[in-house]
Amino acid sequence: NQYTAEINSFQPKNAEELESFRIRFLGTKGIIKDLFEEFKTVSSEDKRVFGKVLNEFKQLAEAKYQTLKEGSETEDSGSKSEQDLTLPGEGFELGARHPLSLVRKEIIEIFKKLGFNVAEGPEVEDDWHNFSALNFPEEHPARDMQDTFFIKKGGEKGDIALRTHTSSVQVRMMEAGKPPFRAIMPGRVYRNEAISARAHCFFHQVEGLYIDENVSFADLKQTLFYFVQELFGEGTKVRFRPSYFPFTEPSAEMDISCSICKGDGCQFCKHSGWVEILGCGMVDPNVLENTNIDSKKYTGYAFGMGIERITNLKYQIKDLRLFSENDIRFLKQFQSEM
């Protein structure tokens, strides 16, 4: 009859349509129920035929309902576990090099071109390598608890502390080998300072050492001049101011013309047009003798710079704390840099 065709061709679009199908045919007031009511009224000889048709019809409706219901259920749960391969991909988050790593790499590349090797040493140092061999007098203020993180008192080579500069690596190098030496020492150093925009309890240095026969202050100046032209660009000016370090004599601090304001005055150069970027000098003969190098035969120069200071200048970063906070918004800005 008409209903058989309707049932066979029924295709619900959603769960509501399937439910109204159930109510229409199989519900307590549904068509099948009505037909069974009608069945009671037919004559007994018709009952055999009508009953058979009616039962088949009922089974058809129930079977159809059952398969549709099962189909919609597996479809629902299936959509969660099955991937829709036509969806666009999510893409990978690309990392960025840390600005300090970028600048360290750049500094190393420049000195490599001049024939400098790269040397490393321990961050936990003894007094000898960090201070005594470098000609620090016993009562020098840099040894004070204020600057140095001490780890252990006493020991064969004195107190154990976190190195305050990578000059300790220079000592290790001089002790271990024979001149000539030409190397730079990048690394992390520690100083007991209150953390602020301009100071931190750790920072990074690149120090350099060149020892050979007849090395002069002119060699030092030329090397640093070349370095600054490479790093900050052609035309960057340098100036040397007399200074003091226990391990160099004479000693100097080197300023460069401010790469940010080009001399017009800014916060980085404090309106002076110059920014200090490193300390340097001729290796004190006492240091050479301390490490068993003949100070009559050999001379040398040394220099040391803070990577943070140079990175601040290169990228106009005003707060040191940004380097160690791991704020993704800060770090992401270096994504385009190599």
Q: How far apart are the first and last CA of the chain?
A: 78
Q: Is 97 exposed, middle or buried (0-12, 13-18, 19+ CB in 10 A)?
A: middle
Under the binding rule (CB under 6 A), the answer on residue 280 touching ligand PHE is: yes
Which of 22, 129, 163, 165 contacts ligand PHE by CB under 6 A? 165
- In the annotated binding site for Mg(2+), the residues are 249
Least gap, CB of 249 to ligand PHE (angstroms): 10
d(C-alpha 56, C-alpha 98), whole Å? 76
Candidate ranges 13-21, 74-82, 84-92, 299-307; the one touching ligand PHE (CB under 6 A): 299-307
Give the nearer residue to ligand PHE in terms of CB position, either 184 or 231: 184
Does position 303 interact with ligand PHE (CB under 6 A)? The reply is yes
Please identify which residue in 135, 248, 290, 312 interacts with ligand PHE, judged by CB under 6 A. Answer: 248
| Number of amino acids touching ligand PHE (CB under 6 A) | 11
Task: Assess 181 for contact with ligand PHE (CB under 6 A).
Answer: no
Indicate the length of the chain as a whole number: 338
304 binds ligand PHE per the rule CB under 6 A: yes
C-beta of 102 vs 206, nearer to ligand PHE:
206
281 binds ligand PHE (CB under 6 A): yes
By beta carbon distance, the residue nearest ligand PHE is 304
Instruction: Give the helix ranges, DSSP H, for the chain.
Output: 2-9, 15-26, 31-41, 44-81, 99-113, 127-130, 167-176, 217-232, 285-290, 307-315, 328-331
* Interaction residues for ligand PHE, span 190-219 (CB under 6 A): 207
Question: Is position 167 an interface residue for ligand PHE (rule: CB under 6 A)?
Answer: yes
| Residue 299 in contact with ligand PHE, rule: CB under 6 A | no
Do 208 and 300 touch, CB atoms closer than 8 A? no
- What is the SS3 assignment for 224? helix
Outline where DSSP puts E strands in the chain. Answer: 117-118, 124-126, 150-152, 160-162, 181-190, 202-212, 238-245, 248-257, 274-283, 299-306
**Please, which residue, 186 or 281, has the CB nearer to ligand PHE?**
281
Minimum Å distance from CB 207 to ligand PHE? 5
Residue 79 structure tokens: 């959509």
Q: CA angle 170-181-293, nearest 5°?
A: 75
**By the rule CB under 6 A, 309 interacts with ligand PHE:** no
Q: Does 279 bind ligand PHE (CB under 6 A)?
A: yes
Neighbouring residues of 159: CB distance < 8 A, sequence distance ≥ 6: 126, 127, 150, 151, 152, 153
Q: Which stretch binds ligand PHE (CB under 6 A): 48-56, 102-110, 277-285, 290-298?
A: 277-285
Instruction: Give the CA count within 13 Å in the CB-facing half-sphere of 237.
Output: 8
Please say which residue, 22 or 129, places its beta carbon nearer to ligand PHE.
129
Contact set with ligand PHE (CB under 6 A): 165, 167, 207, 245, 248, 279-281, 302-304
